[in-house]
């Protein structure tokens, strides 16, 4: 098959690395890709959001299957457009991508189908939103309705913070169209966990569990980021919690989407809060997590491609995926300054030595490109995802940091404590 992966981050590198190993895939493209992806796929200079450009390329190259990495092209309807010209693709339709594209849509769906999530209200008028905050008290959470690249959520500890977040979204247009409406919801207390399932419209197949670290600095301090590292499995997700999450959240959502006339296909990523009352849905994403995808795919023993196609074709229930028992852990190396402003173009060295000949270490590229002289240059905020697998999580952590320390990139930084919760549990 000729396969096209859409996207350019660490998640897409992990997807390309995995798909390139599939015996079913005889030619792999990635649009637009990055310098690491270029070792597994032929990169084509088409942006992930250039739907017309992607359609033209797919027809010209007679691509058989498209795997969409990020949410934006899904929300823009890439899968619908491909399906209209008879090309199969992994990921939800635009209507089903509303699970990530509109927080209000998801909250209303949860309310209608009794899926556990924080109590909430939706507002387009700042004064009404503020009055609601005053009656509810704090802490309280204010969210822009639409896609805001992870920046649309304010967990407000004080009333002033909540009111400022409402003004930013509804009066000052801080999130553009994404912030024309806000969802205000109750603050949930507990440990966060990510949960992933492949879904084929009817049936949901859980993947191994994974957890990311959203804050920029050690000790889970500092600003929110896309994710500074991840590990799999996530010890917080016990077998009982996995079953409860499937029974109370994932399966009811899949059934609800079907009943609403927009059956969900693709990977469903539930952000959960494990509260005293059990798992509650914080949000849905309609794609793999990044960098969670890197650790999950590191542990996959089965061929990924037929599983993705089974999701598209609605035959997932006949499938089973096999996984390595060993834990995996990814340390993200980001450009100094991320998630704020940062420089691009600095030279990165030492990756070959860091990766060595080990099957248990893999460096996924998130934001890299080749300079004219062939040198490897940083070109994004999150730049590398150093991933290791080992018989225990502490060992995987040591192996990943051992590789990190061989990388020569003075302009980068990473957290030194990725996986600390899981390591502490392993020591217990």
Under the criterion CB under 6 A, does residue 285 sit at the interface with ligand GLY? yes
**Contact predicate 25/19, CB 8 Å:** yes
187 binds ligand AMP (CB under 6 A): yes
User: Which one, 185 or 292, has the nearer CB to ligand GLY?
Assistant: 292
- Binding segment for ligand GLY (CB under 6 A), chosen from 1-9, 20-28, 285-293, 351-359, is 285-293
Is 226 a binding residue for ligand GLY by CB under 6 A? The answer is yes
Binding mask 120-159 for ligand AMP (x = CB under 6 A): ---------------------x-x---------x-x----
If one asks whether residue 214 binds ligand AMP (CB under 6 A), the answer comes out as yes
Judged by CB under 6 A, does residue 188 bind ligand AMP? yes
Binding-site partner at residue 217 among ligand AMP, ligand GLY, none, CB < 5 to 8 Å by type: none
Q: Is 381 in the site for ligand GLY (CB under 6 A)?
A: no
Looking at the Cβ atoms of 290 and 417, the one nearer to ligand GLY is 290
Interface with ligand GLY, residue 380, by CB under 6 A:
no
Both tokens of residue 67? 């795997």
The entry of ligand GLY, ligand AMP, none near residue 290 (CB within 5 to 8 angstroms by kind) is: ligand GLY
Place of tokens 């597994």: 40
Q: Establish if 227 lies at the interface with ligand GLY (CB under 6 A).
A: yes
As to burial, measured by CB atoms within 10 angstroms (0-12 exposed, 13-18 middle, 19+ buried), residue 30 is buried
Q: Which of 181, 212, 326, 417 binds ligand GLY (CB under 6 A)?
A: 212
Cα maximum dimension of the chain: 62
DSSP tag of 192: E
Please state the separation of Cα 353 from the chain's center in Å.
Answer: 28
List the beta strands (DSSP E) in 311-408: 328-335, 347-348, 361-365, 368-370, 376-378, 382-389
Near ligand GLY in 52-71, by CB under 6 A: none
Instruction: Note whether 292 binds ligand GLY by CB under 6 A.
Output: yes
Considering CB distances under 5 to 8 angstroms, the limit depending on partner class, which of ligand AMP, ligand GLY, none binds residue 47? none
Distance CA 310, CA 368 (A): 32
> In Å, how far are 330, 405, 412, 421 from 219, measured between CA atoms?
16, 20, 19, 10
Quick check: 99 and 69 in contact, CB under 8 A? no
Least Å distance, CB 421 to ligand GLY, is: 16
Judged by CB under 6 A, the stretch of 178-186, 244-252, 286-294, 346-354 that binds ligand GLY is 286-294
Q: Is residue 282 part of the contact set for ligand AMP (CB under 6 A)?
A: yes
DSSP codes joined into one string, 274-295: EETTEEEEEEEESS--TTHHHH
Kindly report the number of other CB atoms within 10 A of residue 244's CB atom. 16
3-class secondary structure, 178? helix
Going by the DSSP 8-state scheme, the letter that residue 289 receives in this structure is -
The partner in contact with residue 153, picked from ligand GLY, ligand AMP, none with C-beta cut-offs of 5 to 8 angstroms by kind, is ligand AMP
Strand order, beta sheet including 347-348: 347-348, 376-378, 368-370
Establish if 283 lies at the interface with ligand AMP (CB under 6 A).
Answer: yes
Q: Which residue is nearest to ligand GLY (CB)?
A: 227
Residues 6+ apart with CB under 8 A from 385: 10, 13, 14, 291, 294, 330, 331, 332, 333, 363, 364, 365, 366
Instruction: With H, G, I as helix, E, B as strand and everything else as coil, classify residue 428.
Output: coil
Q: How far is the CB of 267 from ligand GLY (least distance, A)?
A: 11
Residues composing the chain: 428
Summarize as ranges the residues that interact with ligand AMP (CB under 6 A).
118, 141, 143, 153, 155, 185, 187-188, 192, 214, 271, 282-283
Summarize as ranges the residues that interact with ligand GLY (CB under 6 A).
212, 226-227, 285, 289-290, 292
């Amino acid at each position: 098959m000729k396969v096209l992966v859409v996207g350019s981050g660490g998640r897409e590198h992990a997807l390309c690395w995995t798909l390139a190993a599939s015996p079913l895939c005889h030619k792999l493209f990635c649009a637009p890709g990055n310098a690491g992806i270029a070792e597994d796929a032929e990169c084509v200079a088409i942006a992930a959001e250039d739907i017309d450009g992607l359609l033209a390329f797919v027809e010209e190259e007679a691509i058989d299957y498209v795997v969409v990495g990020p949410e934006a092209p899904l929300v823009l309807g890439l899968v619908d457009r491909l399906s209209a010209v008879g090309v199969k693709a992994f990921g939800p339709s635009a209507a089903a991508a509303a699970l990530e594209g509109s927080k209000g849509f998801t909250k209303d769906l949860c309310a209608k189908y009794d899926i556990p999530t924080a109590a909430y209200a939706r507002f387009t008028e700042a004064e009404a939103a503020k009055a609601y905050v005053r009656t509810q008290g704090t802490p309280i959470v204010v969210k822009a309705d639409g896609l805001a690249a992870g920046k649309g959520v304010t967990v407000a500890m004080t009333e002033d913070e909540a009111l400022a977040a409402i003004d930013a979204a509804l009066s000052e247009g801080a999130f553009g169209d994404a912030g024309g409406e806000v969802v205000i919801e109750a603050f949930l207390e507990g440990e966060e966990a990510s949960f992933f399932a492949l879904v084929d419209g009817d049936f949901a197949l859980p993947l191994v569990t994974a957890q990311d670290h959203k804050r920029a600095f050690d000790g889970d301090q500092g600003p929110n980021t896309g994710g500074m590292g991840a590990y799999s499995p996530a010890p917080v997700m016990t077998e009982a919690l996995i079953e409860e999450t499937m029974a109370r959240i994932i399966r009811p959502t899949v059934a609800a989407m079907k009943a609403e006339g927009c059956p969900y296909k693709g990977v469903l990523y539930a952000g959960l809060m494990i509260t005293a009352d059990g798992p509650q849905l914080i949000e849905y994403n309609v794609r793999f997590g990044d960098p969670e995808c890197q650790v999950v795919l590191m542990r996959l023993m089965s061929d990924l491609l037929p599983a993705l196609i089974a999701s598209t074709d609605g035959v997932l229930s006949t499938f089973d995926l096999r996984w390595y028992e060993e834990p995996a852990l990814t340390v993200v190396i980001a450009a100094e300054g991320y998630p704020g402003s940062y420089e691009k173009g600095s030279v990165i060295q030492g990756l070959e030595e860091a990766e060595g000949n080990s099957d248990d270490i893999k460096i996924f590229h998130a934001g890299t490109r080749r300079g004219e002289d062939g040198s490897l240059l940083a070109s994004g905020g999150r730049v590398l995802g150093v991933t290791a697998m080992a018989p225990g999580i502490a060992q995987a952590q040591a192996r990943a940091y051992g590789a990190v320390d061989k990388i020569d990139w003075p302009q980068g930084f990473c957290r030194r404590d990725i996986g600390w919760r899981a390591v502490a549990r392993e020591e217990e």
